[in-house]
Amino acid sequence: MLIETILDQKGRDCATIRPDAPVSAAVAILSSRRVGAVVVEDLKGAIVGIFSERDLVRLLAKRGRDALDLKLREAMTSPVITCKPSDRIDQALAIMNNRKVRHLPVVSNGSLAGMISIRDIARVQLSEKENEAAVLLDIARLHG
Asked if residues 29 and 37 have their Cβ atoms less than 8 Å apart, the reply is: no
pLDDT in tens, 78-120: 999 999 999 999 999 999 999 999 999 999 999 999 999 999 9
Residue 33 sits at φ, ψ, to 5 deg, of -90, -5
Q: Report which of 78, 24, 20 is spatially closest to residue 47, judged by C-alpha positions.
A: 78
Give me the residue spans of the domains in the chain: 3-143
Class of the domain covering 3-143: alpha beta
pTM of the complete model: 0.85
The average pLDDT across 5-33 equals: 96
pLDDT surpasses 90 at 134: no
pLDDT surpasses 70 at 144: no
